[in-house]
């Protein structure tokens, strides 16, 4: 398997055949200059890349440690990193001749990104979203529908991201002409590899930018981890370098309360959504519900490459509570005039925690994976409680 004991393709035989068509076409596509040029064209002219690497001077002064740099994925069209991958996979779907794209979404960000690229490329779009998330992220639902997508509210189980993925997989299996555009570095082969390929632009850019701006590599890089796409996108370019890499999961109300979204802290391996990886589960192997204030981190698993990077000790995975993420959200907003997504706020909170362990001449790159507009209601509702 690709990632040590992790990953694989734990799906029914019929689905394997479909996945292998996608896998082969993906391998051909990334060797095809025309495909890559088209992907790069959209990243530049449609998404607005390269995204800046911003030195957060005020935050750095306030914390008093290493220089904190923000990779501004929040400035991308549709407000997060998800569009990088959505464009890549939608172009692949078109290449294969699949005209109906489906997607799952938690925060709504991946749904909006998918609905957007489907509008752009003239593809039919259906988005599966948990009932609870439909309520939490209502503006994104309105947006997807305006963009021409059909949003299916998934009522089973917890009504969040996990159930939306379950439903999307069933639909994918049942419909031959449908392409499943997965939004994170999860799922059966070849998805984790494809998502990494389409997101690694984040780290490739950031590495060049920091070398230009600082004249040397950072001492640490930090990203939030839901399924693990913005993080693997940042990490990939730096894995062979000598620096500290941190992946930050949602600790929710605290790991000890059981109400969290940290699959790695559990240290239990299992199979979910076609892959073998760390999964939140009870002693009987039942999947436990994930919880985080941030809908994008609310997933009981983690991408298989992260499981591997954890096992070999190359990346340190840790977690940040809702409370600390909210503090970081407020601090960045006030000090820098940048309203971060709650997911990204977890990474910022972690950088704040570790900045003092490094020298002032060191730098830390934090992936600001998205903007916080979608989270304003969540923050406003806190005040009412």
Ligand X SMILES: *Cc1c(COP(=O)(O)O)cnc(C)c1O
Site string for ligand X, 171-200 (x = CB under 6 A): -------------x----------------
Cβ-based burial of 60 (10 A; exposed 0-12, middle 13-18, buried ≥19):
buried
Listed ranges 34-42, 160-168, 308-316, 339-347: which one lies at the site for ligand X (CB under 6 A): 339-347
Three-state SS for 53-78 is EEECHHHHHHHCCCEEEEEEHHHCCC
Q: Which is nearer to ligand X, 65 or 233 (CB)?
A: 233
Please tell me whether residue 83 binds ligand X under the rule CB under 6 A: no
Q: CA angle, 349 as apex, 343 and 352 as ends, to 5°?
A: 150
Binder to ligand X among 159, 218, 227, 250 (CB under 6 A)? 227
Please tell me whether residue 341 binds ligand X under the rule CB under 6 A: yes
Binder to ligand X among 76, 114, 229, 281 (CB under 6 A)? 229
What does the block give as tokens for 3? 């990632």
How far are the Cα atoms of 6, 214, 235, 287 from residue 13, in angstroms, in the given order? Answer: 19, 51, 33, 23
Binder to ligand X among 25, 193, 298, 343 (CB under 6 A)? 343
8 Å CB contact between 348 and 368:
yes
Q: Which is nearer to ligand X, 187 or 227 (CB)?
A: 227
Please tell me whether residue 290 binds ligand X under the rule CB under 6 A: no
Q: If we measure between CA atoms, which residue out of 17, 14, 16, 35 comes closest to residue 26?
A: 35
Binder to ligand X among 53, 70, 80, 264 (CB under 6 A)? 80
State the Cα–Cα distance between residues 279 and 262, nearest whole angstrom: 9
Strands 178-180 and 100-105: what pairing?
parallel
Please tell me whether residue 369 binds ligand X under the rule CB under 6 A: yes
Please tell me whether residue 89 binds ligand X under the rule CB under 6 A: no
State the Cα–Cα distance between residues 147 and 150, nearest whole angstrom: 9
State the Cα–Cα distance between residues 65 and 91, nearest whole angstrom: 43
Closest approach of ligand X to the CB of residue 230, in Å: 3
Closest approach of ligand X to the CB of residue 85, in Å: 9
Please tell me whether residue 228 binds ligand X under the rule CB under 6 A: yes
8 Å CB contact between 165 and 155:
no
What does the block give as tokens for 357? 């362990």
Listed ranges 29-37, 107-115, 129-137, 321-329: which one lies at the site for ligand X (CB under 6 A): 107-115
Please tell me whether residue 88 binds ligand X under the rule CB under 6 A: no
Active site residues per annotation: 82, 104, 369
Q: Which is nearer to ligand X, 65 or 266 (CB)?
A: 266
Residues that bind ligand X (CB under 6 A): 80, 82, 107, 109-110, 184, 224-231, 296-297, 341, 343-344, 369-370
């Amino acid at each position: 398997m690709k990632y040590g004991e992790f990953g694989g393709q734990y799906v029914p035989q019929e689905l394997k055949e479909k996945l292998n068509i996608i896998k082969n076409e993906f391998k051909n596509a990334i060797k095809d200059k025309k495909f890559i040029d088209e992907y790069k064209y959209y990243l530049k002219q449609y998404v607005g890349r390269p995204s800046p690497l911003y030195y957060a001077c005020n935050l750095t002064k306030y914390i008093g440690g290493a220089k904190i740099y923000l990779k501004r994925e929040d400035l991308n069209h549709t407000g997060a990193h998800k569009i990088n991958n959505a464009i890549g996979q939608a172009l692949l779907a078109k290449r294969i001749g699949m005209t109906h794209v489906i997607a799952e979404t938690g925060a709504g960000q991946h749904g909006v990104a998918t609905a957007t690229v489907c509008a752009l490329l003239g593809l039919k779009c259906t988005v599966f979203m948990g009932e609870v998330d439909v309520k939490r992220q209502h503006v994104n639902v309105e947006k997807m529908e305006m963009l021409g997508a059909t949003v299916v509210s998934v009522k089973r189980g917890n009504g969040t991201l996990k159930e939306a993925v379950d439903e999307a997989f069933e639909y994918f299996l049942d419909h031959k002409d449908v392409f499943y555009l997965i939004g994170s570095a999860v799922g059966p082969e070849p998805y984790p590899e494809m998502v990494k390929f389409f997101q690694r632009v984040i780290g490739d850019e950031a590495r060049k930018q920091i070398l230009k701006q600082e004249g040397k590599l950072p001492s640490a890089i930090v990203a939030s981890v839901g399924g693990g796409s913005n993080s693997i996108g940042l990490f990939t370019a730096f894995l062979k370098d000598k620096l500290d890499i941190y992946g930050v999961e949602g600790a929710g109300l605290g790991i000890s309360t059981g109400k969290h979204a940290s699959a790695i802290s559990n240290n239990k391996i299992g199979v979910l959504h076609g892959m073998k990886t760390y999964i939140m589960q009870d002693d009987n192997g039942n999947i436990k519900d994930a919880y985080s204030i941030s809908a994008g981190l609310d997933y009981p698993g983690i991408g298989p490459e992260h499981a591997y990077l954890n096992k070999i000790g190359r990346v340190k995975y840790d977690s940040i509570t809702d409370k600390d993420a909210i503090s970081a959200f407020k601090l960045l907003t006030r000090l820098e005039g940048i309203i971060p997504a709650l997911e990204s706020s977890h990474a910022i909170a972690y950088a704040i925690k570790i900045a003092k362990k490094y020298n002032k001449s060191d730098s830390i790159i934090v992936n600001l994976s998205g903007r916080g507009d979608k989270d304003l209601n969540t923050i406003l509702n806190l005040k009412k409680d």
